[in-house]
Amino acid sequence: MLLPRLREEVLEANLELVRRGLVLYTFGNASGISRDQKLVVIKPSGVPYDKMKPEHLVITNLEGRIAEGNLRPSSDLPTHLVLYKAFPEIGGVVHTHSEYATAWAQAQRDIPVYGTTHADHHTVSIPCAPPMEDEMIKGDYEHQTGFQVLNYFRDHELNYEEVEMILVGSHAPFTWGKTPEKAVYNSAVLESIAKMAYLTEQINSNAPTLKDALIKKHYERKHGPDSYYGQ
Ligand SMILES: [Zn+2]
């Protein structure tokens, strides 16, 4: 079997999405990439998570041609491939319809920096790309979804290594990271931030965003040159 370790990692990432309550039934998908071999490991389409074994995962090349596997890959594979090709440092991609993050996508709103959990991870709002144009939807939809993400990052000069997540308007979130595990972590963090931001606006619809000093403090203690958070 090709890439046994990466198969295990990607299976574990998919199961973690279930354990964290980020997916319902077979919705959602996680993948990982071997940059050496230029092969992607992704969840098969429509297989229940509790029945999923490493051998069920599908391995494709960067053009989506199956290198190993008898099952069909997740229908969102083309989106993952676009992101892997454009973002050379990422090792994993996750797509879910987790409820709070998806609600922000459906409301077509960026998630403002209301709290320090957000600032621990990002200094800017979590971006929401606009809904896709009809022509993109009618065409190769999943492939074009990847370009909707790329276009937004390019137009807004966002750095994919600093902002590892996006909401696609009228759809749902995509996250990525250095590993499949980190991409799942980002999905869970995004869901938590989305929920807290929603609750914040319910309690106070004029809630202020976080002060710059707090954004800077929280981000830099984790990510700055003098970071001191963690071991
Ligand atoms: Zn979706």
Q: Which residues surround ligand 1, an ion (CB under 5 A)?
A: 172
pLDDT surpasses 90 at 230: no
pLDDT surpasses 90 at 223: no
Quick one: tokens of 52? 């999923």
Taking residues 185-192, report their average pLDDT.
Answer: 98
Q: What is each CA distance from 216 to 62, 115, 118, 160, 199, in whole angstroms?
A: 38, 12, 11, 19, 23
* Of 88, 98, 125, the residue nearest 30 (C-alpha): 98
Residue 82 bridge partners (DSSP): none
- State the pLDDT at residue 190: 98
d(CA 75, CA 56): 15
Quick one: tokens of 138? 């009618």
φ, ψ for residue 144 (rounded to 5)? -65, -30
Percent of the chain with pLDDT strictly greater than 90 = 93
- Specify whether the CB–CB gap between 62 and 80 falls below 8 A: no
How many angstroms is it from 210 CA to the middle of ligand 1? 30
3-class DSSP state of 54: helix
Specify the range with the lowest mean pLDDT, choosing from 2-11, 131-140, 215-224. 215-224
pLDDT surpasses 80 at 231: no
How many angstroms is it from 119 CA to the middle of ligand 1? 26
Taking residues 196-219, report their average pLDDT.
Answer: 96
- Specify whether the CB–CB gap between 118 and 49 falls below 8 A: no
How many angstroms is it from 69 CA to the middle of ligand 1? 23
- Specify whether the CB–CB gap between 87 and 81 falls below 8 A: no
How many angstroms is it from 202 CA to the middle of ligand 1? 26
Q: Per residue in 97-141, pLDDT tens?
A: 999 999 999 999 999 999 999 999 999 999 999 999 999 999 999
* Of 115, 116, 126, the residue nearest 174 (C-alpha): 126
pLDDT confidence band for 228 (50 / 70 / 90): confident
59: which DSSP letter? Answer: E
Q: Per residue in 36-92, pLDDT tens?
A: 999 999 999 989 998 999 999 999 999 999 999 999 999 999 999 999 999 999 999
Q: Which of 36, 84, 100, 120 is the catalytic position?
A: 120
Helix (H) or strand (E) holding 101: helix 99-106
Quick one: tokens of 36? 């050496």
How many angstroms is it from 155 CA to the middle of ligand 1? 23
- State the pLDDT at residue 189: 98
Q: Is 49 a residue of the active site?
A: no
Q: Is 100 a residue of the active site?
A: no
